[in-house]
Amino acid sequence: MTQYNVIDLFCGAGGFSKGFYDLGFNIVLGLDNFEPVARTFKFNFPNSIVICEDIRNMYSDEILTYLRGKIPHVIIGSPPCEPFTAANPNRKERPLDRLYVDPQGQLTLEFIRIVKQLKPEIFIMENVPQIMENGLKKALIREFKDAGYNRVFFNILRAEDYGTPSHRIRVFISNIPIKPKKKHKRITVEEALKDLPPPGTSGVMNHELPPLSKKKLRRIRKLKWGQALIR
């Protein structure tokens, strides 16, 4: 059985890669321009090549040199969502400007450029659903078609359907349909965290209570059941 090689663009600490690794894929390379997360990715995938560089400075021949003959079967990536998400009050008013004018939005086009150059069997790009708004979906289909992929699927997945205690909708844009089997039961934050020891007493990494400002504490005290500080 062929073991598929995966390249992770905008790899971060490797969360996207972890899912592929758990399913038996070979994570051969991660790319990110932020040195702390690149180091974390290397810690999580010690056998993988990690490139700490701006994707705009990378080209297929250089990536292939790093791979030393390994074929990149799959390219995955999560370009920045800030230009597209409705949670950003400063996003461009015209949807197409979020992709073609916003410098961060243009990083999505850089992902497509690398896909076009390397021609993987499969690509998967994750982002917020707003990346499909008002002409953006057609623009992305056009860009991927220009890259050589005539079939583009916009796979909408909900994190809570797959074992995550979070209401989070994401789109996975790919040249294949993605329909993972849903969990039978959604879990709550309480169920996910109830077996953790008290914060700050156990030596569990990053299990600490951050200090809260007096203003935030006042807001918390006013919350009613089912409310939250941020929606």
Contacts (Cβ under 8 Å, ≥6 apart) of 160: 166, 167, 168, 186
Number of structural domains, the chain? Answer: 1
In a domain? residue 21: yes
- pLDDT given at position 19: 94
In a domain? residue 221: no
Residues of the chain with pLDDT under 70: 1, 231
- pLDDT given at position 25: 97
- Alpha-carbon distance of 187 to 208, in angstroms, equals 22
Distance of CA 185 to the CA centre of its chain: 24
Residue 36 has, within 13 A of its CA and on its CB side, a CA count of 0
In a domain? residue 212: no
Active site residue 11: no
Q: Which of 31, 37, 63, 81 is an active site residue?
A: 81
In a domain? residue 76: yes
In a domain? residue 104: yes
- Alpha-carbon distance of 136 to 98, in angstroms, equals 9
- pLDDT given at position 231: 62
- Beta carbons of 98 and 105 less than 8 angstroms apart: yes
Using one digit for the tens of pLDDT, what is the confidence trace for 131-168?
Answer: 999 999 999 999 999 999 999 999 999 999 998 898 89
In a domain? residue 55: yes
In a domain? residue 186: no
Which range marks the domain in which residue 146 is found?
A: 5-174
CATH number, domain of 10, equals 3.40.50.150
- pLDDT given at position 1: 56
In a domain? residue 206: no
